[in-house]
Amino acid sequence: MKRAEYPAPLQELIAQLKRMPGVGPRSAERIALWMVSARNARPTEIASAIAAVSEGVHPCPQCGFFTSEPLCAICADPERVREMLCVVETATEILPLERTGAFRGLYHALGGRISPLDHVGPEDLRIPELLERVRTQRPAEVILALGADVEGEATANYLAGLLRELPVQVTRIAQGLPAGGGLEQADELTLSRALGGRVKM
């Protein structure tokens, strides 16, 4: 007698669900069993939603944000301030910035950041497209909204070097204490950057 296992399609589903970020073997099994046994699971609706996104959502050819139209909602919005261009690493960082309500310009997602350890060089990023946009759309300011880690720094410095050749002001988002963070929780690097970036009151 062999111990029973799930039927093959269910095992395959568990394996597929396990690939999703943040879903471990136990959650994958739990979700799969929910799909086959819960009354209101309607798993085909989930499958259709995945298929619809795979077929219908693509990166905006201009900024890289997600869209199901030729241009994304941000690039197509006539009320956007075209004088400011905010450079982010990936398209997933655009909505968090949008939700702050603090930026009304356009975006440019690089599709990653320079990281030799991950074999990502400048040639893998949408840098030529950025330079072309700056040349043709003539924004007054390019804001580098890149991470405060080593790769973010390297990417920012590399871009600043290239953009210096063009008639555009290049700025970088501030580094310092996070909101609600006390000095005692901040590490030394954060503190030294917060000091270096101090502003007049």
Minimum CB–partner distance for residue 124 and a copy of itself (Å): 11
Of 25, 56, 161, 197, the one binding a copy of itself by CB under 8 A = 56
CA 35 – CA 18 distance, rounded (Å) = 14
Structure tokens that stand for 161 in this block? 């070097």
Closest to 91 measured CA to CA, from 114, 125, 121: 125
Minimum CB–partner distance for residue 195 and a copy of itself (Å): 33
Q: Which of residues 73-132 bind a copy of itself (CB under 8 A)?
A: 73-74, 77, 79-80, 90-92, 94-95, 98-99, 101, 104
Any contact of residue 146 with a copy of itself (CB under 8 A)? no
Dihedral angle, C-alpha 152, 153, 155, 161, nearest 10 °: 160
Which of residues 33 and 162 has its CB atom nearest to a copy of itself in the complex?
33
- DSSP calls for 26-38: HHHHHHHHHHHH-
Any contact of residue 25 with a copy of itself (CB under 8 A)? no
Q: Which stretch binds a copy of itself (CB under 8 A): 29-37, 115-123, 158-166, 186-194?
A: 29-37
Any contact of residue 61 with a copy of itself (CB under 8 A)? no
Which of residues 155 and 163 has its CB atom nearest to a copy of itself in the complex?
155
Closest to 162 measured CA to CA, from 123, 196, 198, 192: 123
Q: Which residues of the chain form beta strands (DSSP E)?
A: 58-59, 66-67, 84-88, 106-109, 141-144, 169-172
| Spatial CB neighbours of 54, under 8 Å, sequence gap ≥ 6 | none
What residues line the site for a copy of itself (CB under 8 A)?
1-10, 12-13, 15-17, 19-23, 27, 30-37, 41, 43-54, 56-57, 59, 65-69, 72-74, 77, 79-80, 90-92, 94-95, 98-99, 101, 104
